[in-house]
Amino acid sequence: MTASGKFRFISSDRRVREDRRFVVGKGRFVADIVPQGVNHVALVTCPHPAARIVSIDKSAALAMPGVIYVLDGAELSGATNALATGLDTPNVPRWPLAVKVARYAGEWVAAVVADSRALAEDAAEAVVVEYEPLPFVLDGEEAYKPGATLVHEAHGSNVLLDRTFAWGEVEQDFAASPHKLRHTVKWGRSATVPVETFGVTASWDPWREMLDVWASIQVPKYPDQTAMALRLPMSSVRVHFDVDVGGSYGVKRGIKHTVVVGYLSKRLGVPVRLIEDRMENMRGGDMHGPERNFDVEVAFDDQGIIRSMKMRALDNVGAYAGRSPFQLGKPVGAIVGPYKIKSVQYQAIAVVTNKTVQEAVRAFGQSPTNYAIERTLDEVANRLGLDRLEMRRRNLIRREEFPYLIPSGSTYDSGDYHAVIDKVLAQAGYDDLIAERDRLRAAGTLAGIGIAACLEPSGGNSSFEPLLNPKVGTTTWMDSCRISIDLVGSITATMHTTSAGQGHETLVGTVIGEVLEVDPEKVRVVRPDSLNSLPSNTPVGSRMAIMLGGAAFHAATQLKDKLVAIAAHDLGVPVERIGYKDGTAFVTAAPDSKRSWAELVTIAHRYIHRMPPGMEPGLAVSHIMPVPGGGGLPDAGGRVQMYPCYSFEFHLVLVTIDPDLGKPEIKRYVLGHDCGTVINPKIVRGMTMGGVAHGIGAALYEEFAYNAEGLLMAQSFMDYLLPSAHEVPPVEIVHHETPSPLTVFGQKGSGESGYLGAPAAVASAVNDAVRPLGIAVNSLPIKVARLGDMIAAARDNTKGN
């Protein structure tokens, strides 16, 4: 079944409506919103990885004209509640400003408020903090060991989470397998680092008792968390969602920023804003991604069929417990990747260290896990002397096996992985690619082919929360849409979150246009503030095509049914005999007997005497949609349906490495992508291309490196290297469509596509290139300098031999 011809607007290559405002510079970003009389915050940050705060002398700063306040952690923690954490770790409290002890270099110690940002920065330098440096620990494995330096003494250890799951007969399957292979890999600390930093403005009205908030956010439960931390009823926090977010890919969380400015605005009676500069963002913005050590062991037979896997993943989550330990939970929903591995043992460990706090990053921990699985599969093929692609094909779930239940309790909805791979090979020619690689090798270049096959779980209901923290019973993760047709017949729809470039206004317009058979451009899409909103869980986990698209579909369908019911009543025929086309309802057997859009709208808004008895007047419908398939708690064995929909991607890459410099270059990149029915091809293609670019960055360039003294070495874009147009090669995307049986149009998620497999594919290619030298590169990012040194050493050895 394909979508072609099935839809009128869905899947057609339509423009993205948001683009018009951006190309003329009329986006409305948080820094563009400046309330009258706003004051500015700059931060005083700790220069040590761990230190006791002995004293804070604010006098010189406060003496500067234009400086109105200096807030410290003692005051703020006395007046607010600690920030919410995901796990049950009451002795690891997290405050926006350090209380007594600072636990990473860059942690906020005080917030200076002045009438200009420049002045606030000057005054921040005039705040004198006396520190007593404390012992610190940076390495995750070190922190995990008994007797390690404690980041939070009261917690008694550095371990936030250490759970081992066993799904299926792991030991039995290992014992029955003729071969075992153990492989360790590391995923380095990087993040998606949007070009816009995090920013927030808050304005408290003490007479209305209302806190207005404008923020650059992509985070579920933001109004709730803000209200709880500030000890306000949620009805006193009004978050404005009509703020364009300048990129996020998971990281724009910013609750701590919001608590600071929210408190200050209440305290001072003026609007207050905090727009991070880049250094504040890099070291104290709490947006670093996973830093994960994997130890993977697999059991397999002579044919390379993998029967069982044991995975240990230790994540260094930084100094405080945010939501980040849950990033070890999401991969449970795709712990075997696209493969038929029968049993799995999974140990998930989250430790605190004296590094910047980790937060959610694109794919929420799935991309590192995919990298670990894929690199292990490469090693299995190499061990058996099998072709890496052939070996994957033998292990992949086959089309006829869906829906497919994996050992950890999730059922994959649909897929045709072999077909996607065949399409990629038709595009790239695997034998040709191998011939090209070998030709390059013969010419003296290091060359390698990279392969990665992986899944994008999408649209879930946050089941990793109850899985990893039994005190949390979350099973609901809805999204909503409200549609109204006004009395002159125009359509307005609502969505209830900010967006960071995902084109949600286009999504909603397209879906409603499809259902009501009207031009999507005629559907206005607006974002009410949080007090006027229906529930939304924001664009996380590749969910909006499924969830917001689904909610818009159901609301539009209800509205269409209402129009049909009005027509049926007015024409005096049963509803079943009414047809609907292009906004007109007519008697199926006598199409001239009809009611036009204008007539139906007029009846609904003005002529209740012609409405079906008991029907609500007007034309306004809301729909709150649960995750497809509902939701349930994990069972006693830790099995749970984590996500309803699973997109598939297959990467095939040719990389060369300059043997003298160690500089990798991507010569060919072909990507097969299947996210079910595509609602907007331009958006899905862009997401995927962007995800590949992020993945290339994580694989080769980007790292939040720390020195031995515990200081972050990458605090600017001079040191944290972002791929430019030169580093991202042309990517050929081959499209395939296996609709999901669970969603309204067959769509699946695509917000994380590309990023899920690109790091694995690039690492696979680099390793294929250096394998003839007898070396392997098992940690990301693969920086030029380190790779160059490894290659030089290997060549020296070869010569020596």
Partner 1 sequence: MKVELDINRENHTVDVEPRLSLLDCLRDKLLLTGAHAGCEHGVCGACTVLIDGAAVRSCLMFAVQADGYAITTIEGLSPGLGELSPLQDAFCETHGMQCGYCTPAMVLAAHALLSKNAEPTREEIVDAISGNICRCTGYAQIVEAIALAAERMRGANRPQDGLGAEP
Distance separating alpha carbons of residues 220 and 199, to the nearest angstrom: 17
- Cα–Cα–Cα angle for 288, 294, 299, rounded to 5 degrees: 155
What stretches of 660-731 adopt beta strand conformation (E)? Answer: 664-674
Distance separating alpha carbons of residues 664 and 701, to the nearest angstrom: 11
The nearer residue to partner 1, 37 or 473, going by C-beta atoms, is 37
Q: Name the residues that contact partner 1, by CB under 8 A.
A: 15-16, 18-27, 29, 31-32, 118, 192-197, 244-249, 275, 277-278, 500-503, 682-683, 685-687, 689-694, 716-718, 722, 724-726, 728, 730-731, 754
Q: Work out how close the CB of 372 gets to partner 1 at its nearest, in angstroms, rounded to a whole number.
A: 24
The nearer residue to partner 1, 628 or 691, going by C-beta atoms, is 691
Distance separating alpha carbons of residues 699 and 782, to the nearest angstrom: 6
For tokens 């869980």, the residue is 537
Distance separating alpha carbons of residues 458 and 539, to the nearest angstrom: 11
509 contact partners, CB below 8 Å, separation of at least 6: 17, 493, 520, 521, 523, 525
- What is the dihedral angle through the alpha carbons of 514, 26, 694, 87, rounded to the nearest 10 degrees? -80
Q: Work out how close the CB of 623 gets to partner 1 at its nearest, in angstroms, rounded to a whole number.
A: 27
The nearer residue to partner 1, 15 or 522, going by C-beta atoms, is 15
The nearer residue to partner 1, 483 or 758, going by C-beta atoms, is 758
Copy the structure tokens of residue 99. Answer: 């209380």
Phi (first) and psi of residue 180, to 5 degrees:
-135, 150
Rg (CA), the chain: 28
Pick the closest to residue 72 from 85, 57, 82 (CA basis).
Answer: 57
Q: Work out how close the CB of 200 gets to partner 1 at its nearest, in angstroms, rounded to a whole number.
A: 15
CA atoms within 13 A on the CB side of 135: 7
The nearer residue to partner 1, 681 or 772, going by C-beta atoms, is 681
The nearer residue to partner 1, 354 or 715, going by C-beta atoms, is 715
Helix (H) / strand (E) element for 74: namely helix 73-79
Q: Work out how close the CB of 429 gets to partner 1 at its nearest, in angstroms, rounded to a whole number.
A: 22
664 contact partners, CB below 8 Å, separation of at least 6: 655, 656, 657, 700, 762, 765, 766, 769, 782, 784, 787
Q: Work out how close the CB of 697 gets to partner 1 at its nearest, in angstroms, rounded to a whole number.
A: 9
Q: Work out how close the CB of 32 gets to partner 1 at its nearest, in angstroms, rounded to a whole number.
A: 4
Phi (first) and psi of residue 263, to 5 degrees:
-65, -45
The nearer residue to partner 1, 192 or 265, going by C-beta atoms, is 192
Q: Work out how close the CB of 500 gets to partner 1 at its nearest, in angstroms, rounded to a whole number.
A: 5
The nearer residue to partner 1, 192 or 533, going by C-beta atoms, is 192
The nearer residue to partner 1, 280 or 514, going by C-beta atoms, is 280
- The angle, 0 to 180 degrees and rounded to 10, between the axes of the packed helices 758-770 and 681-696 is 40
Contact 58, 130 (CB under 8 A): no
Pick the closest to residue 284 from 722, 717, 711 (CA basis).
Answer: 711
Q: Work out how close the CB of 19 gets to partner 1 at its nearest, in angstroms, rounded to a whole number.
A: 4
The nearer residue to partner 1, 368 or 729, going by C-beta atoms, is 729
Q: Work out how close the CB of 751 gets to partner 1 at its nearest, in angstroms, rounded to a whole number.
A: 10
For tokens 């609907």, the residue is 580
Phi (first) and psi of residue 292, to 5 degrees:
-130, 130
Distance separating alpha carbons of residues 575 and 566, to the nearest angstrom: 9
Q: Work out how close the CB of 705 gets to partner 1 at its nearest, in angstroms, rounded to a whole number.
A: 17
The nearer residue to partner 1, 50 or 275, going by C-beta atoms, is 275
**How do 404-405 and 411-412 pair as beta strands?**
antiparallel
Q: Work out how close the CB of 387 gets to partner 1 at its nearest, in angstroms, rounded to a whole number.
A: 29
Residue 607 is classified by DSSP as: -
For residue 781, whether the previous peptide bond is cis, meaning omega lies within 30 degrees of 0, is yes
Q: Work out how close the CB of 27 gets to partner 1 at its nearest, in angstroms, rounded to a whole number.
A: 4
The nearer residue to partner 1, 65 or 444, going by C-beta atoms, is 65
